[in-house]
Amino acid sequence: MTPTAWAKGIVLRLARVPAEPHVPEGAKESVRMFNAGRNYFAWRLIVWGFGNALVALGLLVMFAFSFIPTLPPVVRMVWRILDAGAALLFLTSLPITYFVQRLNYELRWYIMTDRSLRIRSGVVWLEEITMTFANIQEIRVNANPIERLLGLANVEVRSAGGGTDAHGGHSTGHMGRFAGVDNGEAIRDLLVERLRAYRDSGLGEKIAAVKEPPAWAAAREVLQETRSLRDSLAGGLRPG
């Protein structure tokens, strides 16, 4: 076993991340699995490198601040110690965050069946989204200039909203994202094809009529009669 595979196994056990996600609802013969494109890892490294470059620049600015002549010697010494500690922590975190980026790329799964889709991403903060074709309303493909240069695209799938969110506002639904794929147009076409087949089959469109139990109907009738009697008594007690 290579050191990378050994470290990957330890991280997966500690984070309790399954090696592969469960297949969502649908026919077994319709299962299609996708992963992010090969250049998606390069794109993640670009974002990772840019973020670390900003942190390194901030550390350099902090170090340069300690050379201000007007600073008391004690403040200058404490400032440099803090800056050195932050720099050491930053350098120590580089291989760890790099490895996390690698795992985020390898453990990103997109699964589609004839009835639903499932998207799993993340290692430290695992996120898994499941959407059924009954709720999907919009499918779009987009990419920024760097992603287009790398031959990547993002397929966004939006579902219908309903109900209220955690803050009491109206929910706008969910959004699933096939991020960093190198076959975005093909995935979009397959989604549209399966969505059309799902709706043509009539699945999810018919709503069964629910018959009201007799006890509920009787209780509702008694409640209406009680309200009528109360209104009549209240009218009779009013002064003329």
pTM over 0.75: no
Instruction: Show the CA angle centred on residue 179, arms to residues 176 and 180, nearest 5°.
Output: 165
Per-residue pLDDT at 201:
77
Per-residue pLDDT at 117:
93
Dig out the tokens for 214 from the structure.
């007799």
What CATH fold (topology level) applies to the domain 3-200?
PH-domain like (2.30.29)
Per-residue pLDDT at 237:
46
Of the candidates 90, 128, 119, 120, the one whose C-alpha atom is nearest the C-alpha of residue 103 is 120
Per-residue pLDDT at 135:
86
Distance from C-alpha of 228 to C-alpha of 234, rounded to nearest angstrom: 10
Per-residue pLDDT at 202:
66
Based on its alpha-carbon atoms, the radius of gyration of the chain, rounded to whole angstroms, reads 29
Distance from C-alpha of 72 to C-alpha of 50, rounded to nearest angstrom: 34
Of the candidates 110, 111, 104, the one whose C-alpha atom is nearest the C-alpha of residue 126 is 104
* Residue 66 backbone phi and psi in degrees, to 5: -70, -10
In a structure prediction context, what are the per-residue pLDDT tens digits for the chain, which is 240 residues long? Answer: 666 667 667 766 766 766 677 888 888 899 999 999 989 999 999 999 999 999 999 999 988 988 888 888 898 899 999 999 999 999 999 998 998 898 889 888 999 999 999 998 887 788 889 999 988 889 999 999 999 999 999 999 998 754 334 344 434 458 899 999 999 999 999 999 999 998 887 654 432 333 334 444 445 454 555 555 555 545 554 454
Per-residue pLDDT at 159:
85
The DSSP code for 210 is P
* Residue 138 backbone phi and psi in degrees, to 5: -145, 140
Cα 110 to Cα 7, 64, 130, 134, 198, distances in angstroms? 24, 47, 10, 18, 19
**Residue type (1 letter), 6:** W
Distance from C-alpha of 126 to C-alpha of 131, rounded to nearest angstrom: 17
CB 211 within 8 A of CB 168: no
Of the candidates 40, 41, 23, the one whose C-alpha atom is nearest the C-alpha of residue 32 is 23
